[in-house]
Amino acid sequence: MYKVYAMIADGTEEVECLGVADVLRRAGVNTELVSVGGKTVTGSHGIVITADRTLDGTDLSVADMLFIPGGIPGTNVLAQCDKLIAAIGAALSDGKRVAAICAAPALVLGANGYLKGKKAVCFPGYEDKMLGAEVVRGARVVTDGNITTARGLGCALELGVELVRLIVGDKQADDIAAKIQMK
């Protein structure tokens, strides 16, 4: 079964993370919240989230996709996690999927050179951190190869549906989009 690890830390944008995780779980995709801190995380707007697991003792290489939500200061915490940054590089080298939203495409992927030669989007104002990326102006969600990026919170459900489309297929993605009133 396809496995997604959604990475979280104190200061993660709650809706970006949980919106995408919810859509993936609706599609039957095994999606777990992995905290780089303790089992309980306080999001960027004070909402407490209980992770399914913590990074300590978790082998990120078993995931088929790593998802990095935005939110400040959560994105900065994730960007400083050496184990996560190395796992992203390994996942991309192995042809696995990586997805990021809001500031995460810039501060986690772009700042580490993972977007070189790729079309991508991020939260407006962070484009200068998208090192080597071709920033797609006006796009909300962009997939280029095995990397999918999205602009911000208002795009979270679209990102989730795009990931379902890529992982499970068009029919399931269309069905979920209709059920959650996106169509």
* Any domain includes 74: yes
Quick check: pTM over 0.85?
yes
User: How many domains are there within the chain?
Assistant: 1
* Any domain includes 84: yes
Pairing between β-strand 65-68 and β-strand 53-54 as defined by DSSP bridges:
unpaired
Q: Quick one: pLDDT at residue 183?
A: 77
* Any domain includes 177: no
Q: Quick one: pLDDT at residue 129?
A: 96
CB atoms within 10 A of CB 43: 22
* Any domain includes 182: no
Q: How deeply is 146 buried, as exposed, middle or buried, from its count of CB atoms within 10 A (0-12, 13-18, 19+)?
A: middle
Q: Which residues of the chain have pLDDT under 50?
A: none
- CATH number for the domain spanning 60: value is 3.40.50.880
Preceding omega of 69 cis (within 30 degrees of 0): no
